[in-house]
Protein backbone atom coordinates (compact mmCIF):
# COMPACT_ATOMS: atom_id res chain seq x y z
CA UNK A 1 0.00 0.00 0.00
CA UNK A 2 1.39 3.38 -0.95
CA UNK A 3 1.56 6.26 1.52
CA UNK A 4 -1.09 8.12 -0.50
CA UNK A 5 -3.51 5.19 -0.36
CA UNK A 6 -2.87 4.75 3.37
CA UNK A 7 -3.62 8.42 4.10
CA UNK A 8 -6.78 8.29 1.97
CA UNK A 9 -8.04 5.17 3.78
CA UNK A 10 -7.23 6.63 7.19
CA UNK A 11 -8.95 9.90 6.32
CA UNK A 12 -12.03 8.12 5.01
CA UNK A 13 -12.22 6.10 8.22
CA UNK A 14 -11.91 9.20 10.41
CA UNK A 15 -14.73 10.85 8.46
CA UNK A 16 -16.91 7.73 8.74
CA UNK A 17 -16.40 7.48 12.52
CA UNK A 18 -17.06 11.22 12.91
CA UNK A 19 -20.31 11.02 10.95
CA UNK A 20 -21.40 7.87 12.81
CA UNK A 21 -21.07 9.86 16.02
CA UNK A 22 -23.29 12.61 14.65
CA UNK A 23 -20.62 15.29 14.25
CA UNK A 24 -20.07 17.62 11.34
CA UNK A 25 -16.57 18.80 10.53
CA UNK A 26 -17.43 22.18 12.06
CA UNK A 27 -18.76 20.54 15.24
CA UNK A 28 -15.59 18.54 15.69
CA UNK A 29 -13.30 21.43 14.84
CA UNK A 30 -14.92 23.66 17.43
CA UNK A 31 -14.54 20.92 20.07
CA UNK A 32 -10.82 20.38 19.40
CA UNK A 33 -9.80 23.89 18.30
CA UNK A 34 -8.76 22.89 14.78
CA UNK A 35 -9.21 24.73 11.51
CA UNK A 36 -11.83 23.08 9.28
CA UNK A 37 -9.40 23.19 6.36
CA UNK A 38 -6.92 21.05 8.32
CA UNK A 39 -9.53 18.46 9.26
CA UNK A 40 -10.78 18.39 5.69
CA UNK A 41 -7.23 17.83 4.41
CA UNK A 42 -6.74 14.93 6.86
CA UNK A 43 -10.08 13.34 5.97
CA UNK A 44 -9.30 13.64 2.25
CA UNK A 45 -5.84 12.11 2.61
CA UNK A 46 -4.00 15.29 1.65
CA UNK A 47 -2.41 15.86 5.08
CA UNK A 48 -0.58 13.45 7.35
CA UNK A 49 -1.90 13.84 10.91
CA UNK A 50 0.51 13.52 13.81
CA UNK A 51 -0.21 11.02 16.54
CA UNK A 52 -1.20 13.88 18.85
CA UNK A 53 -3.63 15.22 16.25
CA UNK A 54 -5.18 11.76 15.91
CA UNK A 55 -5.49 11.67 19.71
CA UNK A 56 -7.27 15.06 19.73
CA UNK A 57 -9.62 13.99 16.93
CA UNK A 58 -10.48 10.73 18.71
CA UNK A 59 -11.12 12.54 22.00
CA UNK A 60 -13.31 15.08 20.22
CA UNK A 61 -15.34 12.33 18.58
CA UNK A 62 -15.45 10.28 21.78
CA UNK A 63 -13.81 7.16 20.38
CA UNK A 64 -10.57 5.24 20.64
CA UNK A 65 -7.80 5.97 18.13
CA UNK A 66 -7.87 2.29 17.16
CA UNK A 67 -11.27 2.79 15.51
CA UNK A 68 -9.51 4.79 12.80
CA UNK A 69 -7.53 1.69 11.82
CA UNK A 70 -10.32 -0.92 11.78
Rounded to 10°, the helix 51-61/25-32 angle is 110
Residue 70 pLDDT > 90: no
- Give the C-alpha separation, 17 to 31, whole Å: 16
pLDDT at 20: 97
Indicate the domain borders of the chain: 3-62
- Give the C-alpha separation, 35 to 48, whole Å: 15
pLDDT at 57: 98
**Hey, CA dihedral for 62, 11, 47, 66, is it positive or negative?**
positive
pLDDT at 13: 97
pLDDT tens column, 19-68: 999 999 999 999 999 999 999 999 999 999 999 999 999 999 999 999 99
pLDDT at 47: 96
CATH topology of domain 3-62: 434 Repressor (Amino-terminal Domain) (1.10.260)
Amino acid sequence: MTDKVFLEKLGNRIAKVRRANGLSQLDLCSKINMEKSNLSAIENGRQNATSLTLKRIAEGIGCEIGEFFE
